């Protein structure tokens, strides 16, 4: 399977941009004394970087569940490895760890309800080795900080992506993805017993749907998969179902926001897969009359993705990821009302929105508060915490700190103190990944990448000395792209290559680039770098700066898969020279520039009968003065090493991933010490401080489409 398919299904992990950040120009350390201060660190041992204080920070993962108790927000689950959860006090802005004694096993895509005294979590899937659906659960009492398991006797079949509501006396579970014939059930926490619910007259079974409690009935509506925009009403007192009228109901859509106002169900926004367009339409459903009422489009937010909505007592708050996509809908007047916008929302639109009765809360490590009475936003950031779990992010070494940027935030890591620092977000670039970042000697320049769902051509410069961002000019900037390359020449940044999906997410037609631009941070100006006839359009290639030239090698354009060729670009003469093709590597490669030569290593898989696959490794060295490729020894490389992991040059060795190091003088590989902490398997950057290799984030080893929130430090022993 080539990487075009891997990208589309979300399993591509390429860290080839990481070596771009480790050129000699980036290694100039204006604060050598701080690096030398690390003399007492043990060598030849991987040590974890500081992540967080579990007693004072949110301990949840993606796909967590959340409830409001009346005084606290409880967030639990989502961590692929172990049960975890925390409680947030919006008055003191503090997090407190939850006991995990007798807690349910860790899970995702489960349900969570608040009974008035306890949080009940149930079902979901356990993601460790494969995926296992669950019909277990637990009740958490925040007063006693204790868990009580829920009975499995007569419980519904194991499932995920189901729904659950609290009636005042019982929890009703319905729908979801199940292994057998799916049914629902009612759970009574007082007696710890389950009762099956009648399925006669129920709507067609589905998952990822919406449910809410009206005070008398459970409403079921829609599905995230757009298989059906039908629904049903379940009365637990009579154990009967009634259909929801389809007259004037919303059109079929996925990703809609569905909320309950106390008297009506509001369906708004989403994506129309049939016509491949986003929607800004909606309807209100009144169960008392079984009627749908249209919502006005006047002053409505524009069509878009990743909206969430939460009912605030008198109005519906709708928040999107792109400025200024925030508004409030008043159903009594059928009117959209503008509200204030905070730029921080572009970073913190994720999370489960919770209405406390006074304000809206959403987020975890960065908790957003919105008060509709004052129309004010506030972002509470957890200090001294590592960044969130990351993938396809970047890192640079400033001489004193590792600066990590990507996804929803950035942080600075001080290896001497083993602590993280906040970064200013004023004028910071919008959230992104698959971008590039380079270090100039005084600033980090972030450019391009995927912004929300599409590639961009924006960027900014970050100065850690002043903790300030300076937006970059877009005049003359290269066209939008991601999986491109960037190198620093000592005075200017050269951007080249990359890919762009003009019709994503409705289509995956790719436009590849073989052009770029040259950016001067002193004048904040771009000059074009036209397409070169020597190289085909490509992305995910390797780029290094030699001191006088940029070398481009490898990559892919999906149609030809791997591109085993390259070229050298001289910015002084604006000339390109081809690299030799004889003995050139033909695998996806990772590598480094040593100061004299380019070293590459990669692998591909071959089938060995009857049912085994093994990795075949390729290694090459290229010296521009000789203009010749030389093979290198590949014995002793473990299976985990591939072109999808990062590599960094220490001055004497190339460290690849977290497993091995290559010495070009002896032409030998050596294994590094085993890692005693969870670490990413790919898509994590590596930096060299002058004495240590530091890594952060990456793909989860058991579920590569997930991210890890861990890092490590490795110090080679001096010769």
- Average pLDDT estimate for 710-714: 93
Residue 53 pLDDT more than 80? Answer: no
- Average pLDDT estimate for 424-438: 91
Cα–Cα dist 569/553, whole Å:
11
pLDDT category of residue 61 using cuts at 50, 70 and 90: confident
Residue 484 pLDDT more than 80? Answer: yes
What is the per-residue pLDDT across 166-220, written as a single tens digit (0 to 9) for each?
999 999 999 998 876 668 999 999 999 999 999 999 988 888 888 999 999 999 9
Cα–Cα dist 258/421, whole Å:
38
Tell me what pLDDT residue 5 has.
Answer: 34
- Residue 536: how many CB atoms within 10 A of its CB? 16
Residue 270 pLDDT more than 60? Answer: yes
Which of 60-64, 234-238, 423-427, 432-436 has the lowest average pLDDT? 60-64
Tell me what pLDDT residue 642 has.
Answer: 59
Tell me what pLDDT residue 676 has.
Answer: 78
- Using an 8 Å Cβ cutoff, are 690 and 29 in contact? yes
Tell me what pLDDT residue 17 has.
Answer: 33
Tokens coding 493 = 């940044």
From the list 121, 124, 143, 148, the residue with the least C-alpha distance to 134 is 124
What is the per-residue pLDDT across 397-421, written as a single tens digit (0 to 9) for each?
999 999 999 986 789 999 999 999 9
Which of 25-34, 286-295, 385-394, 543-552 has the lowest average pLDDT? 25-34
Return the residue matching tokens 């004193």: 400
DSSP class of residue 399?
Answer: S
Tell me what pLDDT residue 700 has.
Answer: 73
Higher pLDDT, 573 or 4: 573
What is the per-residue pLDDT across 616-655, written as a single tens digit (0 to 9) for each?
788 999 999 999 999 999 987 866 665 568 999 999 999 9
- Average pLDDT estimate for 242-265: 92
From the list 494, 491, 496, the residue with the least C-alpha distance to 441 is 491
Annotate 57-73 with DSSP letters as a single string. Answer: S----TT-EEEE-SS-E
Backbone angles phi and psi of 714, in degrees to 5: -135, 125
420: left (phi over 0), alpha (psi -120 to 50) or beta: beta
Residue 453 pLDDT more than 50? Answer: yes
Higher pLDDT, 305 or 623: 623
Cα–Cα dist 63/226, whole Å:
21
Pairing of strands 111-114, 125-128: unpaired
Return the residue matching tokens 């009975």: 151
Residue 385 pLDDT more than 50? Answer: yes
SS3 letters across 72-95: CEEEECCCCCCCCEEEEECCCCEE
Tell me what pLDDT residue 274 has.
Answer: 82
User: What pTM, to 2 d.p., does this model score?
Assistant: 0.69
91 burial via Cβ count (<10 Å: 0-12, 13-18, 19+) = exposed
What mean pLDDT value characterizes the chain?
86
pLDDT category of residue 701 using cuts at 50, 70 and 90: low
CA dihedral 471, 475, 478, 482 (to 10 degrees): 30
pLDDT category of residue 509 using cuts at 50, 70 and 90: confident
From the list 296, 320, 219, 307, the residue with the least C-alpha distance to 270 is 307
- Using an 8 Å Cβ cutoff, are 390 and 379 in contact? no
Which of 3-12, 114-123, 186-195 has the lowest average pLDDT? 3-12
- Which residues are CB-neighbours of 622 under 8 A, at least 6 positions away? 551, 553, 579, 597, 598, 600, 628, 629, 630
Order of all β-strands in the sheet with 308-311: 308-311, 316-319, 326-330, 335-338
- Average pLDDT estimate for 472-492: 97
Residue 514 pLDDT more than 90? Answer: yes
- Using an 8 Å Cβ cutoff, are 619 and 600 in contact? yes
556: left (phi over 0), alpha (psi -120 to 50) or beta: beta
């Amino acid at each position: 399977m080539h990487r075009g398919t891997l990208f589309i299904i979300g399993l591509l992990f390429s860290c080839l941009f990481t070596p771009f950040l480790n050129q000699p120009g980036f290694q100039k350390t204006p604060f050598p004394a701080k690096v030398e201060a690390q003399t007492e660190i043990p060598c030849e041992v991987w040590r974890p970087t500081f992540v967080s204080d579990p007693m004072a920070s949110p301990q949840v993962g993606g796909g967590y569940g959340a409830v409001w108790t009346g005084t606290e927000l409880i967030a639990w689950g989502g961590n692929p490895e172990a049960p975890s959860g925390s409680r947030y006090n919006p008055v003191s802005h503090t997090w407190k760890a939850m006991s995990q004694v007798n807690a349910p096993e860790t899970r995702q895509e489960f349900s969570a309800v608040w009974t008035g005294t306890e949080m009940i979590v149930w079902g979901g899937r356990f993601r460790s080795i494969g995926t296992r659906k669950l019909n277990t659960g637990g009740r958490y009492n925040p007063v006693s900080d204790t868990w009580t398991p829920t009975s499995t006797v007569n419980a519904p079949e194991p499932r995920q992506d189901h729904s659950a509501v609290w009636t005042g006396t019982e929890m009703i579970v319905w729908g979801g993805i199940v292994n057998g014939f799916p049914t629902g059930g009612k759970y009574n926490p007082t007696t710890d017993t389950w009762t099956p619910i009648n399925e006669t007259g129920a709507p067609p079974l589905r998952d990822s749907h919406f449910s809410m409690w009206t005070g008398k009935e459970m409403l079921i509506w829609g599905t995230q998969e757009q298989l059906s925009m039908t629904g049903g009403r379940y009365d637990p007192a009579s154990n009967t179902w009634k259909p929801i009228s389809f007259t004037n109901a919303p059109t079929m859509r996925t990703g809609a926001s569905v909320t309950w106002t106390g008297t009506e169900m509001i369906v708004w926004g989403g994506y129309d897969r049939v016509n491949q367009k986003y929607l800004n339409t909606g309807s209100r459903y009144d169960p008392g009359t079984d009627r749908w009422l249209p919502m006005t489009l006047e002053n409505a937010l524009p069509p878009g993705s990743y909206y969430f909505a939460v009912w605030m007592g008198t109005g519906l708050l709708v928040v999107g990821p792109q400025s200024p996509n925030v508004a409030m809908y008043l159903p009594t007047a059928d009117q959209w009302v503008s509200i204030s916008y905070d730029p921080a929302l572009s970073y913190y639109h994720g999370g489960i929105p919770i209405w406390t009765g006074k304000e809206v809360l959403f987020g975890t490590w960065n908790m957003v508060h919105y008060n509709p009475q004052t129309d004010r936003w506030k972002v509470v950031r957890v200090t001294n915490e590592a960044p969130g779990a990351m993938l396809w992010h970047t890192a640079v070494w400033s001489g004193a700190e590792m600066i990590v940027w990507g996804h929803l935030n950035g942080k600075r890591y001080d290896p001497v103190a083993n602590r993280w620092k906040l970064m200013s977000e004023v004028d910071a670039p919008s959230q992104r990944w698959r971008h590039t970042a380079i270090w100039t000697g005084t600033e980090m320049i972030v450019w391009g990448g995927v912004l929300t769902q599409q590639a961009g051509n924006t960027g900014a410069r970050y100065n850690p000395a002043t903790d300030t961002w300076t937006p970059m000019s877009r005049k003359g900037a290269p066209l939008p792209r991601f999986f491109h390359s960037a190198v620093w020449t000592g005075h200017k940044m050269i951007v080249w290559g990359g890919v762009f999906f003009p019709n994503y997410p409705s289509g995956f037609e790719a436009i590849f680039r073989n052009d770029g631009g040259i950016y001067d941070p002193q004048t904040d100006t771009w000059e074009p770098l036209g397409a070169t006839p020597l190289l085909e359009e490509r992305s995910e290639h390797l780029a290094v700066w030699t001191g006088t030239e940029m070398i481009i090698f490898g990559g892919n354009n999906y149609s030809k898969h791997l591109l085993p060729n390259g070229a050298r670009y001289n910015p002084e003469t604006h000339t390109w020279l081809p690299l030799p093709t004889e003995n050139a590597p033909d695998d996806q490669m990772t590598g480094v520039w040593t100061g004299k030569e380019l070293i590459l290593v990669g692998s591909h898989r071959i089938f060995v009968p009857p049912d085994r696959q093994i990795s075949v490794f390729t290694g090459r060295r290229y010296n521009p003065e000789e203009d010749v490729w030389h093979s290198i020894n590949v014995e002793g490389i473990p299976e985990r090493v591939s072109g999808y992991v990062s590599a960094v040059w220490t001055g004497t060795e190339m460290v690849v991933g977290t497993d091995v190091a290559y010495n070009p003088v002896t032409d030998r590989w050596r294994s590094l010490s085993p890692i005693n902490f969870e670490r990413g398997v790919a898509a994590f950057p590596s930096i060299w401080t002058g004495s240590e290799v530091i890594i952060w984030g990456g793909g989860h080893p058991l579920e590569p489409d997930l991210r890890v929130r861990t890092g490590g430090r490795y110090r080679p022993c001096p010769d």
